[in-house]
């Protein structure tokens, strides 16, 4: 079973900062993610920031292993690798 745990660690006027842990069996990866508030407002469709990050990781995990996900990134970096990200995350 795969578990995605999202914790907001801080925020400022422009962005949120998250720690994300992905656990599968006894193996865990950790990721630090930045989400700009203007991107969140544009893409979120009323999800909380934590729900939005979790959905984004679910999107990634459908396409790659947890070990392949970058350790630190801005959430919109996903678009660099998967051009369908913004369209799919809004649906």
Q: What is the predicted pLDDT for the residue at 47?
A: 85
Q: What is the predicted pLDDT for the residue at 46?
A: 77
Number of domains in the chain: 1
Report mean pLDDT in 10-residue bins for the chain, 91 residues: 94 97 94 97 90 96 95 96 94 82
Q: What is the predicted pLDDT for the residue at 32?
A: 98
Domain that includes residue 59, residue range: 2-90
Would you say the pTM of this structure is higher than 0.85?
yes
Structure tokens at 56: 């984004």
HEC profile for the chain?
CEEEEEEEEEECCCEEEEEEEEEECCEEEEEEEEEEHHHHHHHCCCCCHHHHHHHHHHHHHCCCCHHHCCCEEEHHHHHHHCCCHHHHHHC
């Amino acid at each position: 079973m795969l578990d995605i745990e999202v914790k907001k660690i801080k925020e400022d006027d422009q962005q949120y900062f998250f720690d994300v842990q992905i656990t599968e069996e006894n193996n865990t990866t950790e990721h630090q993610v930045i989400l700009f508030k203007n991107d969140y407002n544009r893409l979120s469709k009323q999800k909380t920031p934590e729900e939005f990050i979790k959905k984004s990781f679910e999107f990634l995990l459908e396409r790659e292993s947890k070990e392949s996900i970058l350790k630190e990134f801005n959430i919109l970096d996903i678009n660099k690798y998967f051009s369908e990200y913004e369209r799919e995350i809004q649906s």
